Amino acid sequence: DSGVTQTPKHLITATGQRVTLRCSPRSGDLSVYWYQQSLDQGLQFLIQYYNGEERAKGNILERFSAQQFPDLHSELNLSSLELGDSALYFCASSVEGEGGQNEQFFGPGTRLTVL
């Protein structure tokens, strides 16, 4: 158990819909990262927040957005969903802000299926 929690575990929805994925980082970790993993794309970095502020941005679509709240939990919002958005979405956390220097602790993931 990494100490990072993600809800829900599974999500099934239809194209065009909007969903929100939630992540609670390990106690004391200020950084939260979001990743998308699909079969054909591998693990793709989406976005990082550090102590409430956006820190780094990866290949995140404009239809996707995220935020980190004062209690440090984070939410990833996916809208106008398409079939290709079906994937595993992982959240990770670390103590400090540099993802390359710090050990990232990954949550169990949310499996999103878009029908």
Partner 1 sequence: LAKTTQPISMDSYEGQEVNITCSHNNIATNDYITWYQQFPSQGPRFIIQGYKTKVTNEVASLFIPADRKSSTLSLPRVSLSDTAVYYCLVGYNTDKLIFGTGTRLQVFP
Closest to partner 1 by CB, 14 vs 39, is 39
Q: Is residue 64 at the binding interface for partner 1, with CB under 8 A as the rule?
A: no
Closest to partner 1 by CB, 24 vs 107, is 107
Least spacing, CB of residue 5 vs partner 1, in Å: 11
- Of 57, 59, 20, give the one whose Cα is nearest residue 37: 59
Pairing mode of beta strands 10-13, 110-114: parallel
CA distances from 7 to 27, 92, 97 (A): 17, 13, 23
Q: Is residue 28 at the binding interface for partner 1, with CB under 8 A as the rule?
A: no
Closest to partner 1 by CB, 10 vs 14, is 10
